[in-house]
Amino acid sequence: MKNKHEHHPLILASASPRRQELLERIGITPTQIIPADIDESEGKKELPRDIALRLATGKAQKIYETHGDKTSFILGADTVVACGRRTLPKGETQKDAHHCLNLLSGKSHRIYGGLCIIAPDGTIRQRCIETRVKFKRLSQQEINDYVESGEWEGKAGAYGIQGAAEVFVKSIQGSHSNIVGLSVYDTMNLLKGLNFFK
């Protein structure tokens, strides 16, 4: 277990327990967790990378406007799974899960992690992190079993790398934590650049 870092107050603009856990892993405990309610619908011809950055920034800005207190840093993040130029949905139904897994079977896809941090003085730092993941070819039985597990619910691309779907992954290029929900390397670097640590 890493030592806790002495840091300024941090509001995490996300309800994701995975993002909270990743922050805890690098010794950062959010002082508040306030999910940002923003419109997450996809713009016409909007590329997956742009969506991830726009949503992360939108979440951070919404919380800065409604809960910013001139002492807290705000962290917004979003994860988008893309197959080519196509953005895959979050797993909300079994139909979504079957669709995504059939599409990802035997192919490479990209995970775009949008990251936005707003300092108490309003300074904004943004980054979009790209990770490439290659899946093995999945049998219908493997897809059915995974869908039955329910592990895909609420996850971008209808799978979670930190669970049973890890056996589907042939290779990863880039940040593993970015696939889970937050690149800890990039988060730490942005926070250091904003003098977040005391």
pLDDT in tens, 89-130: 999 999 999 999 999 999 999 999 999 999 999 999 999 999
**Cα 174–chain centre separation:** 14
Q: What is the pLDDT of residue 155?
A: 92
Is residue 1 situated within a structural domain? no
For residue 60, pLDDT over 90 is answered with: yes
For the question of residue 78 being annotated catalytic, the response is yes
> Does residue 139 form part of some domain?
yes
- Residue 160 in contact with residue 153, Cβ under 8 Å? no
Confidence of residue 182 (pLDDT cuts 50, 70, 90): very high
Summary mean pLDDT of the chain: 94
Tell me, what DSSP letter sits at residue 86? E
Domain that holds residue 169: 10-193
Given a contact cutoff of 8 angstroms between Cβ atoms, the answer to whether 22 and 186 are in contact is: no
Cβ contact 142:167 at 8 Å = no
**Residue 198 counted as domain residue:** no
Q: Which of 69, 78, 121, 145 is catalytic?
A: 78
Task: Supply the CATH number for residue 14's domain.
Answer: 3.90.950.10
Question: For the chain, what is the radius of gyration of the CA atoms?
Answer: 17
Is 3 inside any structural domain?
Answer: no
For 119-172, write each residue's pLDDT tens digit.
999 999 999 999 999 999 999 999 999 999 999 999 999 999 989 999 999 999
Question: Does residue 5 form part of some domain?
Answer: no
Q: What is the mean pLDDT of residues 72-81?
A: 97
Beta carbons within 10 angstroms of residue 121's beta carbon? 7
The total of structural domains in the chain comes to 1
Is residue 20 included in any domain, yes or no? Answer: yes
CA 198, CA 188: separation in Å to the nearest integer?
Answer: 14
CB 8 within 8 A of CB 72: yes
| Rounded Cα gap, residues 35 and 63, in angstroms | 8
Task: Record the pTM.
Answer: 0.93
Q: Is 2 inside a domain boundary? A: no
